[in-house]
Structure 1
């Protein structure tokens, strides 16, 4: 039955005077959709034997990253706020293990909205037997928080969630960083923070926070841009720290330790995957039925907009490409550790340059994004902030606002975290614990 119908339709379409218009329209739509999906990474990497910590592992993008890493043989520690004994988690993990033929997929419970839960996980990991980490991927900040039309109470709750998720990124970094610093000097370690695509909206007035009652896009962009500046400043801190001497001065690690482009074997970058249907648009329209903020009207609107969303927004498989690009690209440290006894220096210089991961950079569509954050307003200095970033002599490279803006953002994270810990110890109820339900 379908075959005669298709043949009849094709015959009528072929004889139709609108055939050219239909073909041209479909061609233009295909071009627009291909452009909207963005670039795909042309790199590949074998991840067998490498341990990767992944937060937000059971969000739409996080599960896609989880599957991509599992397919390449990585040993994965996936964090979720959902109890690990729940059928939802168990079924997903078992299905992934069966599909990817990778048994090294493990789940740990860690609610990034709860500072105690986050600290407990880090303590458990650091006191365990295996401390190895080759990469940390923060995927919990990518998903959009809050609907487009929200009440004052909803905006306040969404603001608390954004603040808590952002602070948890900083907390995990600071707690696990000592473990990363004592890793062998020849190990290639990466810290990748995935941010939402609204960071550009906050550039004009950054670092001044927009009003809580204002645009949701500005609030989302503000926290995303804070993470970008934090990751760049983290790279400055890492490169300023003294490096331990290699065990063998003649080994390749000696060249890596003396590399002037990147002193540290740890690379921190930010990645913006772009606009995703499920992680960006659905929360805006209240179309995620698994959350308390969902509504039937928003779900219907999302269904009606699907034809347009299919063209102009990314699928998770396309959104994940920039994340994989940041994990697969070789680092300057990797090139410095390569032995140079096979070719002469002239031949090496004559070879075409290969793309390498830029430490501290922001990546979008598999490319480095430049942000002009110079000439910001005079930043207030904290008298009681004499932490690690201030003690080390940091080179002001001017990127993403330079060292002054990076230090200001770092100290603001410390102050927020100190206030949050004080509230936790005082048994003050934390609003986000009741709001998170994804």
Structure 2
């Protein structure tokens, strides 16, 4: 049909129903140029597409934050390539919503090797429970990759939030939980055979550039959501560099070089739940404005799929499995760090020691709290059992009394009958 229409236009000119503005060649050129410019601009803001591919069959990948946003895309893409994916989730595997999600993910990827393990990243105790259970295995369990996609943020203008253990939420989830998890899993990473390409991928954010220094703690008076979030990302990057040196310093029993590499990734700004929470300021009015101006965010922000491309590149690019670790990937290429203190050994040592002390102090306090709580529960159970025992005795006494009364009534009736 387009070909006859084209020849008809050449012979007879444009039909009468053709819009008037479309008859002007200059107007048509302006419209086409504008559409082409917007397309190129949208393509630019969408970021680079990863072309890296890798055989993922049989590889074990552990992912935090793998049920929403960029993490969900990464988990699905790796599972579709045959990887065994272990999702570390806040919900227990028995949760019906999580079970349905994993079932659908298995069906979409045609991969049954997708599991969930419960880990609350806002709890040091929960992180330790999972990590120690993982490493308490002989022989060591296979672990090819750890992707730390989980992160949280407090919307601008909101108050400081603390976890149940008394630690600021963003510092805990974005940094300290990862520090604790990798610290315990370190023996499992170092125990992997030399022929395995082991990668620890740490997604970060360009907000680390404006982070306050890590030399001093962020006191409550100076606290703001932006500062706290940026500081947690900078701390993760400083720790990641120190963790790479920690791995490199290990002398393998086979005397071969270390095969575990830390890779940082800046996925860029994407339309993720976290970004939506930031833009809406965590309010209904903000959500209304966000929905009303959604076209703007759609145009300037990446989709989760495009945001995941740099992480997929870090996971599958064969060149990143060679040489030194500690590289930063952005738009699927290696870039330099924007701050020198990311590789500052003095800052890293101070941060590592402070983190260890905070974890030790918090775990001791929480252990004492759990002991007291268990004692209270034991006392309650004891009181409950004593109460139940007392009720049983009272019920037995009442039954005996009723039996004796019944016997007296029976004997009286018999006496009256004999008297008659």
Counterpart position of 1:416: 358
Take 1:128 and 1:413, find their aligned partners in 2: how far apart are those partners?
27
The SS at the match of 1:184 is coil
* 331 and 244 in structure 1: CA distance in 2 versus 1, 3 angstrom threshold: farther
Take 1:358 and 1:322, find their aligned partners in 2: how far apart are those partners?
19
Counterpart position of 1:311: 299
Take 1:111 and 1:199, find their aligned partners in 2: how far apart are those partners?
24
2:146 to 105, 130, 136: 136
Indicate if the aligned counterparts of 2:214 and 2:347 stay in contact, CA closer than 8 A: no
* 415 and 99 in structure 1: CA distance in 2 versus 1, 3 angstrom threshold: same
Question: How far has the Cα of 1:18 moved from its partner?
Answer: 4.1
Deviates more, 1:106-115 or 1:19-28: 19-28
Counterpart position of 1:146: 154
Question: Is 1:43 aligned to 2:43, yes or no?
Answer: no
Taking structure 2 as the reference length, the TM-score comes to 0.76
Deviates more, 1:267-276 or 1:102-111: 267-276
- 1:103-143 per-residue CA deviation (whole Å, 9 max, x = no partner) reads 000111111111111111112222357711001111112x5
Take 1:214 and 1:309, find their aligned partners in 2: how far apart are those partners?
28
Question: How far has the Cα of 1:209 moved from its partner?
Answer: 5.0
Question: How far has the Cα of 1:211 moved from its partner?
Answer: 5.2
Question: Is 1:425 aligned to 2:367, yes or no?
Answer: yes
The count of corresponding residues between Structure 1 and Structure 2 is: 349
Counterpart position of 2:327: 361
1:155 to 154, 160, 163: 160
Counterpart position of 2:258: 264
- 1:195-218 per-residue CA deviation (whole Å, 9 max, x = no partner) reads 23311221x745445555444222
Indicate if the aligned counterparts of 1:330 and 1:357 stay in contact, CA closer than 8 A: no
Take 2:261 and 2:306, find their aligned partners in 1: how far apart are those partners?
24
**What is the root-mean-square deviation of aligned Cα atoms in Å?**
2.6
Counterpart position of 2:172: 164
The SS at the match of 2:369 is coil
- 1:335-355 per-residue CA deviation (whole Å, 9 max, x = no partner) reads xxxxxxxxxxxxxxxxxxxxx
* 19 and 156 in structure 1: CA distance in 2 versus 1, 3 angstrom threshold: same
Q: Which has the larger radius of gyration?
A: 2
Counterpart position of 2:380: none
* 10 and 283 in structure 1: CA distance in 2 versus 1, 3 angstrom threshold: farther
The SS at the match of 1:274 is coil
1:235 to 223, 229, 244: 244
Taking structure 1 as the reference length, the TM-score comes to 0.73
Counterpart position of 1:381: none
1:275 to 269, 273, 277: 269
The SS at the match of 1:155 is coil
Deviates more, 1:231-240 or 1:125-134: 125-134
1:61 to 70, 84, 103: 70
Question: How far has the Cα of 1:226 moved from its partner?
Answer: 0.9
Take 1:8 and 1:64, find their aligned partners in 2: how far apart are those partners?
49
Indicate if the aligned counterparts of 1:326 and 1:357 stay in contact, CA closer than 8 A: no
Take 1:9 and 1:223, find their aligned partners in 2: how far apart are those partners?
61
The SS at the match of 1:52 is strand
Question: How far has the Cα of 1:12 moved from its partner?
Answer: 5.2
Take 2:40 and 2:286, find their aligned partners in 1: how far apart are those partners?
29
- 1:323-368 per-residue CA deviation (whole Å, 9 max, x = no partner) reads 1111112257x5xxxxxxxxxxxxxxxxxxxxx6751122221222
1:405 to 347, 352, 368: 347
- 1:363-394 per-residue CA deviation (whole Å, 9 max, x = no partner) reads 221222323544x6xxxxxxxxxxxxxxxxxx
Indicate if the aligned counterparts of 2:280 and 2:289 stay in contact, CA closer than 8 A: no
Q: Which runs of 5+ in 1 are unaligned?
A: 1-6, 247-256, 258-262, 288-293, 335-355, 377-399, 429-438
Q: Which runs of 5+ in 2 are unaligned?
A: 1-14, 371-420
Take 2:289 and 2:362, find their aligned partners in 1: how far apart are those partners?
37
* 8 and 36 in structure 1: CA distance in 2 versus 1, 3 angstrom threshold: farther
Take 2:171 and 2:362, find their aligned partners in 1: how far apart are those partners?
10
Take 1:218 and 1:9, find their aligned partners in 2: how far apart are those partners?
59
Q: Map residues 28-427 of structure 1 onto 2, 5 A cutoff.
A: 28-128=37-137, 131-141=141-151, 143=152, 145-150=153-158, 154-157=159-162, 160-165=168-173, 166-202=175-211, 205-208=213-216, 210=218, 212=220, 213-245=222-254, 257=256, 263-286=257-280, 294-331=282-319, 359-371=325-337, 373-374=339-340, 400-427=342-369
Question: How far has the Cα of 1:27 moved from its partner?
Answer: 2.0
Indicate if the aligned counterparts of 1:285 and 1:301 stay in contact, CA closer than 8 A: no
Question: How far has the Cα of 1:426 moved from its partner?
Answer: 3.4
